[in-house]
A and B are shown apart, each in its own frame.
Chain A
Amino acid sequence: MVTKKVSQKPFLKYSRTIGMTTMRGRGFYFPVDSAMSSDGRIFVLSRSSEIASSPDTIRVTVLNEAEEYFGVFGKGGDDPGSFRWPCGIALDNSGNVYVTDEHHHRVSIFRDSGDFISNWGTHGSDEGQLNGPSGIVIDGDDNLLISDAKNHRIQKFSKDGRFIFSFGTFGDKIGEMNLPWGITVGPASEIYVADWGNDRIQKFSKDGEFLCEFGSGDGEFTKPASIVVDSEGYIFVADWGNEAIQILDSNGVFVQKLLGEATDSEWAKEYFDLNRDEGEVRELSDLQPNIEFFNDDPHEKSSHIEKLFWGPSALFLDSKERLFITETNRHRIQIFERNA
């Protein structure tokens, strides 16, 4: 299955942007993933920086779409309940929060209040062991599917860490993987994997049997980081290496490409209300300058033009199937919704 362009009116339209950057507290600092609870709270996982001087820069920030702020939990460190390289976040049917850590090779579990419950996971390559766990999703049976990135496989666990099965091995042939990152479950329980190092999406049955792939051959994706599928089978891919979101239909046919249209979030507006001189001179600036970019490098373009995606590393759909795009390097979430 390959992707190809067809003429079609825009499938999604920009809605709004939420969040802003802060090293601590209300805001995000290199957010790498986010998830929404059934009551509409958004849990945003900030990875922070290795050389950040204090542990509270690594945290989960809780807010809702209206940018009501509910607090933070988690911190940097090595103790249980702490993170070094947090990467993926997911919520189970009870509202408990699961966070993968690529450095500690473990999964930490919290109540949605932020209280730490437990963690599990050991470093290694044997069955049930982890090496750089990245993407995480809860399937229909309330089990966990984890991209065991540096073991180049997907592993399925019960919520308390009991190994169920795994599939995938290192390589670029069908069914093989290279540093898989994002993972999701489709409407028919199929498993979709962002096969990051192979620049493709792979689709498997719920038992891990290879079904098909998207994006290979013509290099349509560059290092895809995340993937979600809506109830109609539309596929949304965080085309991370191209600083874009690509939308495919259930057959893998290209539908739309998004490059980002961020506007000021409510928190950003509050900031400029308090810092009027900065806001006023920003108003007078050309934030979409026409620059000769280095070799058309999409990362460079995103670093210069603020509204564009920069590091779109995670996606989720809410109950209305609106797309929430977490941008690591712009510390915000852009929301897109279906055209009427």
Chain B
Amino acid sequence: MSNHEVQLIAHLLRRAGFGATRGELEQYSSLGYNATVEKLLDTSNPQAISEHLLRRYHPDETSMLVGLGGLGAWVYRMTTTDSPLLEKMALFWHGIFATGYAKVINSKPLSDQIRMFKRFAMGDFNTLLLEMAKDPAMLIWLDNQQNHKEAINENFGRELLELFSMGVGNYTEEDVKECARAFTGWTIGNCEYMMVRSGRDSDWPYGRISWHYEFDEQDHDSTEKEFLGRKGNFSGEDIINIICEEDATARFVARHMYHFFVADEPPVPQWPYQEPRDPKAIEQLVQAYFDNNHSIRSMLECLFHSDFFKSENCWYEKVKSPAEFVTGVLRLSETVVDMPQFEIPGKQLRMQRMGQTLSNPPSVEGYDGGTAWINTGALVERMNFASEELGNINTPGSQNLFDSVETDNGVVVSPERLVDICLDHLGSINVQDDTRSKLVDFAAQNGEVHIMDNGLDESSKVNISGILKLIVASPEFQRE
């Protein structure tokens, strides 16, 4: 396999996953690019760390008492999954259907929502949108429990059209009202009690009670509605099916997908006024949507096989989100495999310091993303975190690196070769020439590395980890 194809697969694994260890990259490379895409798209039997183990050693992660409880478990799953695309899709939909603890004030419905995203992330968009509309956390986040037959609340109906499916400019104010009417009576069970508890942040007496969807037929407006030029006694389900037939919806999903997997688009509010970065790419994705019954998986398949995705012009163009960055580093360190560890839930706090609190986006518009992830404080936190994790010479990941250095490199390893091995170890990163030159200069300060009869000595290991610590500060490592 050519080095270019290995690099291409590495690009795919950064975007459709969280990067790859050298071992993973070798496995995927043996399959080839097309088969790797197929494998990533097959999310039928995802495996990750045992849920029972998580529940035993981190009981708070599966409960609801702790504010934002469940984020540590999310870190575990992203770090240990063998189906990284599914976890990326959960992040993708979480960024679009952004729902936050600040208003929900119950972490279990929020973690349930993420589980829902994974169940429906790659099926048809109609089903996902319907499940999202019935999601208890979303219903409360957008006040639909206050959307009554006799007094509508437009919040959910408006965001469904504006932020979740079509975008501004593709519907009228009347459509918003009619849409809201169709979702009257969509609420959660024991709504009044649950809202009293959330309102006072009450854990008492026995912890939170999880929420469930409830349809209140008495409070539902089943009369005729006129929506997007059609008339009928539309239910919420009907509205969603109409929305999903719209060209604007396909374009909206396609542009989000391009933004997440290929290259940054402007914030959603600017979309009505600013053309997509690559209109032809959007056309291809829209075609895949309509040709395959609104299948998200088919759109992804189209995207990963496209020239616009494979183009080197988009490699290392996207800044990793804190969730992607932390997860990628933990996967490279290989410290979390099959047993829970006391320190892991705290890793999500590092994400927060980098500017992203999962399940608590700054607004209904989600996270700003892109270069907004990088500011002075966040960049220092990112470099510190990666240095701590990858600079630790005692992790399994580091041991694999040392094994690579000791194997097939003779007894003396040059600074140039060391840098190449380190870049390879971090997922076959291809840095710019001047970056590589600086890395080699740094490595040369410690001279050549000598492989002793019993392998690398301690000081050589520390020197090699020093190269890793420098690489993590490079633009190529900070990006994907």
Chain A contacts to B: CB under 8 angstroms: 20-22, 29-30, 32, 47-52, 84-85, 102-103, 150, 179, 181, 196, 222-223, 225, 240-241, 262, 264-265, 267-268, 271-272, 275, 277-278, 281-282, 284-287, 289, 291, 294, 299-300, 303-304, 306, 310-311, 313, 328-332
Contacts and interface: CB of A to CB of B under 8 A. Distances in A.
Given A30-B63, A47-B60, 15 more contacts: A20-B206, A30-B65, A50-B345, A52-B66, A179-B56, A268-B204, A278-B197, A281-B193, A289-B189, A289-B214, A300-B210, A311-B55, A329-B207, A330-B207, A331-B206
Contacts of B190: 285-287, 289
Q: Which 9 interchain pairs have the tightest Cβ spacing?
A: A268-B205, A49-B60, A20-B205, A303-B210, A285-B190, A285-B193, A330-B206, A50-B345, A328-B59
B52 interface: yes
B64 interface: yes
Contacts of A52: 66
Contact of B58 (A50, A84, A272): A50
B215 interface: no
B313 to A, nearest CB: 41
Contacts of B60: 30, 47-51
A332 B210 contact: no
A48 B59 CA distance: 9
A194 B59 CA distance: 18
A275 B303 CA distance: 55
Contact of A289 (B55, B59, B212): B212
Contacts of B203: 21
Interface in B170-229: 189-190, 192-193, 196-197, 200, 202-207, 209-210, 212, 214
7 contacts: A20-B205, A47-B60, A294-B115, A310-B207, A311-B59, A313-B59, A329-B62
Nearest to B208: A303
B193 A282 contact: yes
A21 B342 contact: no
Given A32-B59, A223-B52, A299-B62, A291 B206 contact: no
B72 interface: yes
Contact of B205 (A48, A265, A281): A265
Nearest to A269: B205
B57 A85 contact: yes
B108 A50 contact: no
A266 B434 CA distance: 71
B242 interface: no
A63 B342 CA distance: 29
A331 B207 contact: yes
Contacts of A262: 206
**Which of A150, A331, A332 has the most C-beta atoms of chain B within 10 angstroms of its own C-beta?**
A331
Interface string B331-361: 0000000010011011011000000000000
Nearest to B66: A49
A332 B63 CA distance: 14
Interface in B392-441: none
B342 A50 contact: yes
B205 A21 contact: yes
Contacts of A278: 193, 196-197, 200, 202
A33 to B, nearest CB: 12
B248 to A, nearest CB: 33
A104 to B, nearest CB: 10
A300 B343 CA distance: 26
B209 A196 contact: no
Most chain B beta-carbon neighbours within 10 Å: one of A22, A48, A271, A281: A281
Contacts of A291: 189, 212
Contact of B59 (A47, A271, A284): A47
Contacts of B342: 50, 84-85, 103
Contacts of A328: 59, 63
A265 B59 CA distance: 22
A306 B189 CA distance: 14
A85 B202 CA distance: 26
A102 B55 CA distance: 15
A278 B345 CA distance: 32
Contacts of B349: 51
Contacts of A286: 189-190
A51 B207 contact: no
Contact of B204 (A20, A29, A277, A329): A20
